[in-house]
Amino acid sequence: MHLQVEVDVDPDTGKKTTTEKVLFPRYHQWRAVTRLVAAARVEGPGNRYLVQHSAGSGKTNSISWLAHRLSQLHDDANERVFDTVVVVTDRTVLDKQLQDAISQFEKQAGVVQSITRDGGESKSKQLAGALTGGKHIVIVTIQSFEALITAIQTLPELQGRRFAVIADEAHSSQTGSTAGALTKVLSPAEQAAVAEGAPIDSDAYLQWAMEVTAKAPNISYFAFTATPKAKTLELFGRVPNASEAAAASAGLDGSAATPEPFDLYSMQQAIEEGFILDVLANYTPYKVAWQLQHPGADYDGLDEVDESTAVKALVQYVRLHPTNISQKAKIVVDHFRTYVQSELDGKAKAMVVTGSRKEAVRWKKYLDQYLAASQVQGVRALVAFSGTVDDPEDVGEGLTEKTQNPGLHTSDLAEAFKPSTYNVMIVAEKFQTGFDQPRLVAMYVDKRLGGVQAVQTLSRLNRTYPGKEKTFVLDFVNEPGDVLDAFLPYFRGAQLTALTDPNLIYDLVGKLDSAGIYTMQEVEQAFDAALMGGPNANSKVSSATAPAVSRFSTRWVSAVLDGDKAEQDELKLLKADIAQFVKFYDFISQARNLEDTDLPRRHYFFRRILPQLSTATYDDPVDISKVSLVGVQISAGESVQLKLGQGPGLDPISAIGSGAVHEKHRSALEAIIAKLNERFGDKYAPGAVDITIGGVLGRLAIDIELVEQAGANTPEQFAESPALVKAFNKAMLGTRNETPQIVDDVYGDAGLYAELSKALPAMLYEYLKGQGNG
């Protein structure tokens, strides 16, 4: 237990208010810290622990308590288990929270040091001073973690030191290529031998390095997260029963045991105990319909444009349009005043989540305009975004948080949002994670949220507060079912369905080796030059990698000049596959020792050449200057309670390098606008056309006769297949129960029927080919 001291600063007056309260650990916090400390005391350094605690469960204090205990931990021989505890966070807001919380535990001056950009000297120097100067706890952001590794690598005083790394929101990068660099350090004896001209046995070195990468003997990782991904479970999780795992790996069992969190405090348990609120209990989806107009719709012969480029430009045009944002801002203000503002004795707050920084500054402008025009009292908004925004068409140029939030006494918007002066926060990326504001009651979502991001963003609402009994979510973009699907895997605790097969990497090795871009001799030369080091190491590495880069560049330039689209697609896939190899090896090398020394050699070579493989082309810009938005209709759906329950398991990586480059369909800009209006217009519900076409393609894709024909014919031959028309009609009628109006309209419009029957064969053929048929 400890005395928590908080200082609030009124953003209008600058007046400071200090509050104090005695803080006791919750049971799940006490249990997790006690178990982790006990395990670390017995097991020593070199282990990994995953803590899955629900968002809003007090991870900041749990991490603080753990850092405090580990920094003082001694073994049976009364020796320190860890020389230094490093706390890593990827959020500067939480970095400050952690520093404040840990500093309150550590009353002895000089025990804790946070590495920040405003520390008065470079991060490298700060780290060196902290690690060699007896600091027991060092707090770094993920951006500073690479500097930490470099310090551990290069400082002789740190050889043999043992570290506990506590990672807030576990990421594979925290044990990936940066942490893996710990293993790429020669011992002092080896360095001396190399200086005297002795050769390095690179094979022996790599065997040792691969073993240490899979299990670093001097570092223990304590990873905290509310939403572990499959890779996180594999890297940091533990098999619950060692004997069962041994039997499974020996082939005595039909299924391998999968890693689980060391300690679990699930979302379900936290909600049932009243520690957090269920943010999906009051969810209202909104439907947004809009109509575009272009003068070219009345005549033929227009130039064709790239469809995907045009769609992106048009959707962005609508999202940024003043009419669209103004209507949404009015809905937000009216809903806030009617249902939210009176909550918590008038102290309730709301967040607006936008899709981009430019959208955020426009939201601020038009929301403020509506407040002024309607003379609304008691509603004041802040806008949060990073860096500088240029919006010369509307708000202005050189926009910053300071210019868009005039009159604040602090540049810390999280602090400015604490008092009751401001009650609406408009955000773009910022504050969607690591933001703890218990008085947040409503969230207005105008951004596509998928998977973990949906859970992390909406969980900003789940904090409890005296009198806070319900929350509101109004969503202009996402479907309720998609949001529920994102939450389900984490409601009762994330589980792996299986372990990743490490042999997947060899399928990709064969594909890359056969591309003719590099030779293994070049790969070995580059790696050995880097390992030997010395003043000319970089030039030697560049000499070894230059031929591969040159071959790729030569082929790309020729393909572009010749207009060879197939060759361009092949080279794009090759570059994507190289990136996939690097990413997969970063992960799998930490989870398993593959004992194949050619793999890390390729990994180094690919990381070196990847930034130099250019596939740049020039896409003609799409002129949408004559497009006008002639109508926007926003309607509220029915408020629902999205019921949480047992979710599906998390699937491991099942394939790498299996992507395909799909040929971009081209069509007239007017045809694209017509399709968009058909999809977003008020005749059909948003998404209904997608459901219909997806259902038709799904039925066509499992037609055995069509699958066989796609594998044996060219696209032109496939499109002329008599079986296709019959299968198309059968598939269309099969979807009629879901969307009868669309199906009837297709059959009632000969031109529409002809267009779909022509477009779908191309889409189906591309899909079937992408699945490996043919």
pLDDT above 90: residue 2: no
CB-CB neighbours of 645 under 10 Å: 10
- Among residues 364, 374, 431, which one has the least CA distance to residue 403? 364
pLDDT above 50: residue 748: yes
pLDDT tens readout for residues 127-140: 777 777 777 888 87
Average pLDDT over residues 203-227: 76
Q: For residue 243, name the pLDDT band (cuts at 50, 70, 90).
A: very low
pLDDT above 50: residue 490: yes
Give the strand pairing for 628-636 and 283-293: antiparallel
What are 629's strand-pairing partners?
292
- pLDDT for position 251: 41
Average pLDDT over residues 484-505: 83
Q: What percent of the chain has pLDDT over 70?
A: 72
Q: For residue 303, name the pLDDT band (cuts at 50, 70, 90).
A: low
- pLDDT for position 7: 77
- pLDDT for position 256: 53
C-alpha atoms less than 13 angstroms from C-alpha of 556 in its C-beta half-sphere: 18
CB-CB neighbours of 63 under 10 Å: 27
- Among residues 678, 671, 742, which one has the least CA distance to residue 291? 678
When mean pLDDT is compared across 10-14, 293-297, 453-457, 543-547, the lowest value belongs to 10-14
Task: State the average pLDDT for the chain.
Answer: 79
- pLDDT for position 282: 92
- pLDDT for position 528: 86
- Mean pLDDT: which of 113-122, 234-243, 390-399 is highest? 390-399
pLDDT above 50: residue 255: no
pLDDT above 50: residue 180: no
Q: For residue 689, name the pLDDT band (cuts at 50, 70, 90).
A: low
Q: For residue 774, name the pLDDT band (cuts at 50, 70, 90).
A: very low
Angstrom distances, CA of residue 520 to CA of 46, 162, 554: 34, 37, 20
- pLDDT for position 81: 93
Positive or negative, the CA dihedral 294, 299, 303, 309 is positive
CA dihedral 522, 526, 529, 531 (to 10 degrees): -130
- pLDDT for position 550: 94
- Mean pLDDT: which of 203-207, 412-416, 421-425 is highest? 421-425
pLDDT above 80: residue 582: yes
Average pLDDT over residues 610-636: 80
- pLDDT for position 114: 66
Average pLDDT over residues 363-389: 92
Which residue segments constitute the domains of the chain, with CATH numbers given?
A: 26-175+216-265 (3.40.50.10810), 278-491 (3.40.50.300), 504-612 (no CATH), 687-774 (no CATH)
CB-CB neighbours of 744 under 10 Å: 11
Q: For residue 289, name the pLDDT band (cuts at 50, 70, 90).
A: confident
Please give the residue that has the higher pLDDT: either 444 or 567. 444
Average pLDDT over residues 739-754: 68
pLDDT above 90: residue 312: no
Average pLDDT over residues 596-616: 88
- pLDDT for position 342: 92
When mean pLDDT is compared across 477-481, 498-502, 599-603, the lowest value belongs to 498-502
Q: Are 456 and 382 in contact (CB under 8 A)?
A: no
Q: In the numeric block, which tokens belong to residue 692?
A: 């219909």
Q: In the numeric block, which tokens belong to residue 301?
A: 């012969």
Q: For residue 13, name the pLDDT band (cuts at 50, 70, 90).
A: low
Q: For residue 182, name the pLDDT band (cuts at 50, 70, 90).
A: very low
- pLDDT for position 465: 92
pLDDT above 80: residue 123: no
Average pLDDT over residues 193-222: 69
Q: Torsion-angle region of residue 341: left (phi > 0), alpha (psi -120 to 50) or beta?
A: alpha
- pLDDT for position 261: 92
- Among residues 668, 692, 714, which one has the least CA distance to residue 304? 668
- pLDDT for position 469: 92
pLDDT above 80: residue 41: yes
- pLDDT for position 154: 64
Residue type at position 177: S
Please give the residue that has the higher pLDDT: either 94 or 100. 100
Q: Are 473 and 487 in contact (CB under 8 A)?
A: no
Average pLDDT over residues 626-637: 82
Please give the residue that has the higher pLDDT: either 95 or 550. 550
When mean pLDDT is compared across 260-264, 289-293, 327-331, 759-763, the lowest value belongs to 759-763
Q: Are 288 and 632 in contact (CB under 8 A)?
A: yes
Q: For residue 150, name the pLDDT band (cuts at 50, 70, 90).
A: low
Q: How many helices (H) and strands (E) does the chain have?
A: 30, 20
Average pLDDT over residues 151-165: 77
Q: Are 360 and 428 in contact (CB under 8 A)?
A: yes
Q: How far apart are CA 511 and CA 642, in angstroms?
A: 45
Average pLDDT over residues 534-552: 89
Q: What are the residues whose beta carbons fall under 8 Å from the beta carbon of 204, sequence distance 6 or more?
A: none
Please give the residue that has the higher pLDDT: either 240 or 519. 519
Secondary structure of 32-71 in HEC code, one letter for each residue: HHHHHHHHHHHHCCCCEEEEEECCCCCHHHHHHHHHHHHH
pLDDT above 90: residue 354: yes
- pLDDT for position 766: 64
Concatenated DSSP letters for 118-177? Answer: TSSS-HHHHHHHHHHTT-SEEEEEHHHHHHHHHHHHH-GGGTT--EEEEEES--GGGSST
When mean pLDDT is compared across 56-60, 193-197, 617-621, the lowest value belongs to 193-197
Please give the residue that has the higher pLDDT: either 369 or 156. 369
Secondary structure of 254-279 in HEC code, one letter for each residue: CCCCCCECCEEECHHHHHHCCCECCC
- pLDDT for position 117: 58
Q: How far apart are CA 62 and CA 263, in angstroms?
A: 12
- For tokens 């490996």, name the residue: 772
- pLDDT for position 470: 92
Q: What percent of the chain has pLDDT over 90?
A: 26
